[in-house]
Amino acid sequence: MKNGKNAVCRSAEEFGSASGLPFSRDTAPLLESVAAGGIAAPSRIVYQPMEGCDGDPDGSPGELTVRRYSRFAAGGPGIVWFEAVAVMPEGRANPRQLSLTEKNIGRFSRLVGEIKETAVKSGNREPLVIMQATHSGRYSKPRGTPEPLAARRAPVLEAAGEPTVVTDEYLDRVGEALVASAALAERAGFDGVDVKSCHGYLLSDLLAARDRPGRYGGPFENRTRLLLDAVRGIRAVCSGRFAVASRLNVYDGREIPDGFGVGKDGEPDFDEPARLCSLLSGAGADIVNVTMGNPYFNPHVNRPFASGSYDPPEAPIDGVRRILGGAAEIKKAVPALKVVASGLSFLGAAAPGVAAAYIGAGAFDFAGFGREAIAYPDIARDIASGRGADPAKICLCCSKCTEIMRKPGGTPGCVVRDAGVYLPIYKKLCGKDGQK
Ligand SMILES: Cc1cc2nc3c(=O)[nH]c(=O)nc-3n(C[C@H](O)[C@H](O)[C@H](O)COP(=O)(O)O)c2cc1C
C-alpha cells in the first residue's frame, strides 16, 4: 500500500497483510472479560471519549449527548469511556463542554444508569463507564473564544497569541478539583475516572514544562507531580471498586520538538512516558489509555485520516502503527497496568482483526474505537455476533466530525453514517455538501 488512502475500501484480510500490521481472523480475544483494579470490563472493546460539545450551559448532558450514549450503550462495548468533563469552569474547551457539579450530579447519575440499562436491554453485558476529567489548559474557550491557560510557554503552539501561564497555586487547585470531580463521579455511578493528560490540554502541557520554574516545572518529578498527586488523591477518597485511569500522550509528535515523549531526532522516546506509567501504577492507577499528538496542531498524529484539512507528511497507516506500537511499548514496560490502544479507526473493517492479533499476543489489553464509535456504534455487537465489521458502515476518516468541532457552536458527529442528524449541522456550519 503506497499511502494508505484507500485503506477503507480493502477487504479486511488484504488490508491486514498489505499494511504490515499483524492480523488475526479470530477476534475472540476482543470478547474476553478483563479485570481492572477492583472491577471487570465485560470485553476488551472500548468506545473512546468522543466529545459532542452538546451539553447544556450548566454542563449537564444535553439531548444529543444522551442520544450519543444511548447509541454507544446499544452497540455493546465493554467500556464506555465517557468524554471530557471539565473540572473547573474556566477550563472548559467550549461553552457546551460537560461539567459535573453538586448541582447537576442527578443528570449525570441518570445518564450513567441509562447507559447500563440500555446496554442490558439491548442484550449486551453491562459496560463499565469511565469519566474523563479534564482541564483544557491552553485550549480553554469557556465563553466560545480562546482564554488560554497554559502550563508553559511553547511558541510553536502560540501562533494565535500568548497564553496566560498558570501559577503553582492554580495548579494546586486543579489537583483538588480533579480529586473532587472523581469523588462526584463515583457518587454519580461512574465505574472509574480518567485524569486526562493528553492532546496538549493542561496536564499534558505540563508534562513537557521543562523550562517552567517552581514545584511543577523542570525535572521529570516536578512535571509529573500534578498527575501523580491527583491519582493518589483519588485513590485516597474513592473506593476500591472505582477504577483510576489516565488517558496519556506518550508522544506529542515531531512537530512539537520540545514535547513529551519526543526524542532528539523527533521520533518517539518512551523513556519518560514508561517511567511515568510505572509511577502511575505505583500510585494506584489501573488503566492507561495510550494516545499521541495534538488534535489542534498535528491531528494526523492523533487521528490518522484519509482526508482532512492538510496533506499529512506521512502515510496514515504509519500513524496507526506508531500509536499501536506505543501502546505495546507501555504494556511491555509496565505489565501491571491495563493498556488501551487508540487510533484504530483508520483500519476500517480490518481494525478488529488487527486489534485481536495484538491483544492475542499480549501486546496491550483493550482496543479503543474513537471515530468508529460515532460512525458505527454497533461495531462491538457485530464483532461479538461473529459477523465482523461491515465495510458499508465503517468510519471513512473523512475528518468532517473534526471540521464541525472546530466551528463555533459546532456539535460533532458522523456526517456520513449518521447523516439524518449531522449532515444538516455540517451544511449549516461548514457550508459544504457532506457527501463530497
Ligand atoms: C469529534 C471528536 C471528539 C473527541 N473527543 C475526545 C475527548 O473528549 N477526549 C479525548 O481524550 N479524545 C477525544 N477525541 C479523540 C478520540 O478519542 C481518539 O483518540 C481519536 O479520534 C483517534 O482514535 P480513532 O482513530 O479511533 O478515531 C475526539 C475525537 C473526535 C474526532
List the residue whose alpha carbon is closest to atom 9 of ligand 1. 49
Q: Please tell me the distance between residue 370's alpha carbon and the centre of ligand 1 in angstroms.
A: 5
Radius of gyration of the chain from Cα atoms? 20
Evaluate whether 388 touches 381 at the Cβ level (below 8 Å).
no
Name every protein residue with a CB atom under 6 angstroms from any ligand 1 atom.
Answer: 48-51, 83-84, 132, 198, 247, 291, 302-303, 342-346, 369-372, 401-402, 405, 412
Q: Please tell me the distance between residue 373's alpha carbon and the centre of ligand 1 in angstroms.
A: 10
**φ/ψ (deg, to 5) at 133:** -100, 130
Side-chain-side CA neighbours of 111 within 13 Å: the count stands at 29
Evaluate whether 414 touches 404 at the Cβ level (below 8 Å).
no
Mutation choice for ligand 1 from 290, 303, 309, 396, CB with most ligand atoms inside 8 A = 303
Q: Please tell me the distance between residue 26's alpha carbon and the centre of ligand 1 in angstroms.
A: 27
Domains in the chain: boundaries: 7-397, 398-436
List the residue whose alpha carbon is closest to atom 30 of ligand 1. 50
List the residue whose alpha carbon is closest to atom 18 of ligand 1. 370
- Model pLDDT, residue 160: 86
Q: Please tell me the distance between residue 135's alpha carbon and the centre of ligand 1 in angstroms.
A: 16
DSSP E strands: which ranges in 297-378? 338-341, 366-369
Query: 287 forms bridges with which residues in the sheet?
Result: 245, 338
Evaluate whether 367 touches 359 at the Cβ level (below 8 Å).
yes
Three-class SS of residue 384? helix
Q: Three-state secondary structure along 32-83? A: CCEEECCEEECCCEEECCCCCCCCCCCCCCCHHHHHHHHHHHHHCCCEEEEE
List the residue whose alpha carbon is closest to atom 6 of ligand 1. 50
Q: Please tell me the distance between residue 35's alpha carbon and the centre of ligand 1 in angstroms.
A: 24
Mutation choice for ligand 1 from 51, 65, 69, 92, CB with most ligand atoms inside 8 A = 51
Mutation choice for ligand 1 from 96, 291, 371, 399, CB with most ligand atoms inside 8 A = 371
- Atom of ligand 1 at shortest range from CA of 83: 8
- Atom of ligand 1 at shortest range from CA of 343: 25
Task: Give CA separation, 359 vs 118, 199, 338, 346, in Å.
Answer: 28, 25, 11, 18
Q: Please tell me the distance between residue 295's alpha carbon and the centre of ligand 1 in angstroms.
A: 9
pLDDT tens digits, 226-268: 999 999 999 999 999 999 999 999 999 999 999 999 999 999 9
Q: Please tell me the distance between residue 215's alpha carbon and the centre of ligand 1 in angstroms.
A: 31
End-to-end CA gap in the chain? 24
- Atom of ligand 1 at shortest range from CA of 346: 25
Q: Please tell me the distance between residue 48's alpha carbon and the centre of ligand 1 in angstroms.
A: 7
Neighbouring CB atoms inside 10 A of 171's CB total: 24
**φ/ψ (deg, to 5) at 223:** -65, -25
Three-class SS of residue 166? coil
Q: Which CATH class is domain 7-397?
A: alpha beta
Nearest Cα neighbor of 185 from 98, 119, 272 is 98
- Which grid coordinates are listed for 128? 463499565
pLDDT in tens, the chain (436 residues): 333 343 443 455 666 566 789 999 999 999 999 999 899 999 999 999 999 999 999 999 999 999 999 999 999 999 999 999 999 999 999 999 999 999 999 999 999 999 999 999 999 999 999 999 999 999 999 999 999 999 999 999 999 889 999 999 999 999 999 999 999 999 999 999 999 999 999 999 999 999 999 999 999 999 999 999 999 999 999 999 999 999 999 999 999 999 999 999 999 999 999 999 999 999 999 999 999 999 999 999 999 999 999 999 999 999 999 999 999 999 999 999 999 999 999 999 999 999 999 999 999 999 999 999 999 999 999 999 999 999 999 999 999 999 999 999 999 999 999 999 999 999 999 997 765 4
List the residue whose alpha carbon is closest to atom 12 of ligand 1. 49
List the residue whose alpha carbon is closest to atom 11 of ligand 1. 49
